Amino acid sequence: MPSKNPTIQKALKDGKISKGQYDKLPDGLLLGIIKKKSTGKATTTSKGMVKKTSKLAYEKGKGTKETRKKLGKEAHKRGRPKGGSKVEIKK
């Protein structure tokens, strides 16, 4: 579905979207892909605030990185620790 939207055509020319995406995907999805690619590593939330990963903050030296440890019965279980876990903060 080739688009007449100038933003999408510019993104195709700049290489943010591929020719296959341009041909097959609708305008709404293409605009979402363009928005995601233009923000870089930090993504925006639904309220417009910038969300950064702890890994990104830790690498740049800004902020802290949290590591979570499971306690009690959950200590031997697989998966991500839940909200009530012990949090260690590394600088």
Contacts of 73 (CB under 8 A, 6+ apart): none
25 and 60 within one domain: no
User: Mean of the per-residue pLDDT values for the chain?
Assistant: 76
Residue pLDDT tens, the chain, 91 long: 578 899 999 999 998 899 999 999 999 999 999 988 886 555 556 666 666 565 655 555 566 667 777 777 777 888 776 666 776 766 6
Each residue's pLDDT tens digit, 28-37: 999 999 988 8
Domain of residue 1: give its range. 1-40
46 and 18 within one domain: no
91 and 75 within one domain: yes
